[in-house]
Chain A
Amino acid sequence: MRAAIAAHEAGVDVALVTKLHPVRSHSGAAQGGINAALGNETEDNTDNHTFDTVKGADYIGDQDAIEILCERAPLEVYQLEHWGAVFSRQEDSGKIAQRPFGGAGFPRTCYAADLTGLVILHTLYTVCVKYNIPTYEEWFVTDLVTDDNGNAVGVVAYDMIHGKIETIGAKAVVMATGGAGRVYRPSTNAHASTGDAMSLALRKGVPLKDMEFMQFHPTTLAANGVLVTEGARGEGGYLLNKDGDRFMSKYAPNKLELASRDVVSRAEATEIQEGRGIDGCVLLDLRHLGRDRIMERLPQIRELAIAFAGTDPIEEPIPIRPGAHYHMGGVHVDNWGAAPHMPGLFAAGECSCVSVHGANRLGGNSLLEAVVFGARAGEASAAYAQDAPAPKVPGNAAQETQDRIEGLLAREDGPRQGEIRDELATVMQEKVGVFREDATLREAKAKVDELKQQFQGVVVDDKGKTFNTDLIHTIETGYLLDLADCMVTGAIARHESRGAHSRTDFPERDDENWMKHTLAYLDDGEIRLDYSPVTMTKYEPQVRSY
């Protein structure tokens, strides 16, 4: 939506296409906040923010892109505020309040209680309403359309309510479909987070970057993987093992619970593996914050903990464990969100990889990336569209999709998408999780290949046209399989430990051989890897400790 607003403001005709209603998007589940060096709480500046992000990324983020991110951050936060975002305020000054977050040297995270994503998502939607930007709600994109020159000229989409398949031509396409967390289970991600844009681009020859880097969030509820914000630790929450020890003192003696997410998740996994967990969990203790602070700053967390864990954090600690949360990889794009391999194609947010998060994203940087690079992709795509000729959409684009879907619906016997998805998520969690090693990664690869094979015979129960969720889930499962393949293949090849990619057989970071981005291509159904250099400006790689 940020891209649509920017493009609209640049004076081009723009429409939103979304498989959900815009306010249902998963950005709304982001809780803790958005980073910007406003300096409202303590002195802070863009350089600090940039350095923290470069270090958090374990030195594989592109430093020029990170500078852009951090420099534009205050402007975007002010812009959201001007559009009406209800940020929490400081007591006396009336300025936007900021809280400490993991991996950050200063309290830099602006927030709206623990509903920051919801407030920002809603704010952007209200601007879309104000600008009257046409929205195709519940239109599921099945294909990216290219012309004879290989330029992006639109999409094919299934209108879920009316059951029609249509081609939507456009001079430029900006993809912003979010992450692929549903490759894993448990995952903090919505059921809809199936990485659609990545797979659509991959199938048209566009490479995906750094797919092996999946972030595991340290605090997710055991019952269903629902997120407990990093803000809970930002507000002062403790992590305890079964002996009641604040174990982070062993792993990150300075930053403790507010070390980077990869560090905290590994610490928790180690505690649990070594027998100091409770039923596969450790405890997040908020009791010392007191009722008032919990009710004011973390109301949603309390509600979710009561609903899903049967635990009131005012009274007792919450059992939590690491869960798949954010995918650093995505469609390979430049600093303007443009895909170098396909003119006319842009991507922003979690489905893209600029890269600003490198091997590990800092909390509070994902909403920021979505608005900063969303705005830039909107601006760049508008400029591109103003110079581009009318799109030459191949006449048979929708027909090809229609034929493919009819073929799928005609099949009567075979496995169901749900079984394939479950098996995929289980194997990814077990073998491509917080800690990885060659043998198990190869087992995972074999399983993914097998599931891809099974998927060729998948059967859809629902043969109808109207709101066919069975069909949608089946197509999404195909996307997940593509992406899992890229993740596993990239993970097998990367012989080092960096950020969220932690290899027990290669425990050290290897800057000499692996200071580079992975690019995954799809060639005849097989993933082929290539590499590209990391852009450095003024931040030399250092040993990363917290």
Chain B
Amino acid sequence: MASTTFRVFRYQPDSGDLESYHQDFNLEHEEKTTVLDALLRIQNEQDGTLAVRYSCRSAICGSCACKVNGKTVLACMTQVEEAKAESGSSTLQVDPIGNFAPIKDLVVDMTPFWDKFKAVKPFLIPDGPAPEKERLVPKAAMEKVAKESACILCAACYSECNSLAADPEFVGPAAFAWGYRFAADERDSQRKNRAKLYSGQHGIWDCTRCMFCNERCPKGVDPRDAIEKLGAIAFQEKVTKDKGARHAKAFLISMRTGGKLNEQLVGGYTDPVGGAFNAPLALRMLQKGKLPASPLTHKVKNRDQVTKLIKNVKETI
């Protein structure tokens, strides 16, 4: 047997108290106990008012994402003793997932998450009528979207997303993983339109690449990789007017021409109009020696190797 203190986020609007707080529950439990099992025992034995979403308890329904010691996990898949060992404490703090408004205790309002999911047109839009039998799809082509098809929409990625923390309108990692799942499905006819839909404000280029979504996804979906692959699709489909796309393109041009990053070129190409407003800043940077005096920086040696790298990367997408 083991003993754990669960410091649980409480928000009970029915009580008239609109302040949230943390409440400690002590629980004696078997060594092998998941955080979800522990929460359900607390709910059953100590406080029936504790609200938490859950259902399958086998890491497939996506209901029970929450933060354990600040890290978003599926409660049903997290062993209490392992989480304690990781934090080196006998107390586990349990909070609702981040980037959402609370409804009650660990239950949050997921409306924005579902609205954004729907906004990426998460359904197949094929061209022409369906054949009598199945559409023939090479095994490798189908496997291209297998990883993203395993997304259980638990919102662990959304909870951890730094872009969302800065911009609540950002579409978010899960929705884009679904976007990729359809854009890269060779049965779908909307590759280019999807690239357009997913670009623009709050779109794929607004991702900060912090990689937390990849790290915390309990199903190995790697949403950041999906966003990256959507960027590649945008380029293939020549959907590159977006400031973010121009920024990426400027990197490429810079690398191709000089073999290294030329910041003046990147800034100017990304946003020629906005960039001009930054001229005073550039001037000050120049004075402090933070910018090279000439935009024509010297080229690196062995530039052919950089070109080869670029070619290799292109071929793998």
Contact = CB atoms under 8 A, between A and B. Distances in A.
A112 B143 CA distance: 10
A160 to B, nearest CB: 9
Contacts of B60: 28-29, 115, 118, 300
A466 interface: yes
Nearest to A122: B149
Interface string A305-327: 00110000000000000000000
Interface string B116-155: 0010001110100010111111110010011001101100
A235 to B, nearest CB: 16
A119 B149 contact: yes
A25 B60 CA distance: 10
B103 A82 contact: no
B88 interface: no
A291 to B, nearest CB: 16
B48 interface: yes
Nearest to B133: A78
B149 A112 contact: yes
Nearest to B44: A418
A460 B142 contact: no
Secondary structure class of chain A's binding surface, majority of residues? loop
A91 interface: yes
Interface stretch (B9-17, B250-258, B263-271): B9-17
Contact of A191 (B55, B146, B182): B55
Contacts of B54: 191
A465 B56 CA distance: 24
Contact of B47 (A26, A163, A461): A461
B77 interface: yes
B43 interface: yes
Contacts of B44: 416, 418-419
B162 interface: no
A94 B136 contact: yes
A262 B12 CA distance: 47
A538 interface: no
B223 interface: no
A318 to B, nearest CB: 14
B138 A462 contact: no
Given A95-B134, A418-B45, A465-B14, A86 B103 contact: no
A419 B43 CA distance: 12
A275 B45 CA distance: 36
Given A86-B142, A460-B48, A466-B14, A26 B55 contact: yes
B58 to A, nearest CB: 4
Contacts of A90: 139
A454 B48 CA distance: 18
A129 B14 CA distance: 32
Contacts of A78: 130, 132-134
Contacts of B13: 466
B6 to A, nearest CB: 17
A126 B142 contact: no
Interface in A447-499: 460-462, 464-470
Given A416-B48, A469-B52, A24 B185 contact: no
A115 B14 contact: no
A469 B152 contact: no
A223 interface: yes
A89 B61 contact: no
A129 B126 contact: no
B197 interface: no
Given A20-B63, A115-B149, A129-B123, A89 B51 contact: no
Contact of B49 (A83, A112, A461): A461
A527 to B, nearest CB: 28
Interface residues of A, number: 64
Given A192-B55, A470-B43, A464 B62 contact: no
Contact of B182 (A84, A119, A464): A84
Given A94-B139, A464-B12, A29 B48 contact: no
A130 B152 CA distance: 19
Interface string A1-31: 0000000000000000000110111101100
A86 B139 contact: no
Given A87-B134, A304-B58, A464 B14 contact: yes
A122 B57 CA distance: 18
A342 interface: no
A226 B76 CA distance: 11
Contacts of A467: 51, 103-104, 107
B59 A307 contact: yes
A382 interface: no
A96 interface: yes
B135 A82 contact: yes
24 contacts: A20-B63, A21-B110, A24-B55, A28-B152, A29-B61, A81-B135, A82-B135, A84-B188, A89-B139, A91-B139, A95-B136, A112-B146, A118-B152, A122-B149, A190-B57, A191-B54, A224-B34, A304-B59, A418-B44, A461-B47, A465-B14, A466-B13, A466-B104, A469-B43
Interface of A: 20-21, 23-26, 28-29, 38, 74, 77-78, 81-84, 86-91, 93-97, 112-113, 115, 118-119, 122, 126-127, 129-130, 161, 163, 190-192, 223-224, 226-227, 300, 303-304, 307-308, 416, 418-419, 460-462, 464-470
Give the 8 A-B residue pairs with the shortest CB-CB distance, closest first: A461-B48, A84-B124, A464-B14, A418-B44, A94-B136, A470-B48, A126-B123, A130-B123
Given A307-B79, A467-B104, A470-B49, 19 more contacts: A24-B63, A25-B61, A38-B134, A86-B142, A86-B149, A94-B138, A118-B60, A130-B123, A190-B56, A191-B54, A191-B57, A224-B34, A224-B37, A416-B48, A461-B49, A462-B48, A464-B12, A464-B15, A469-B52
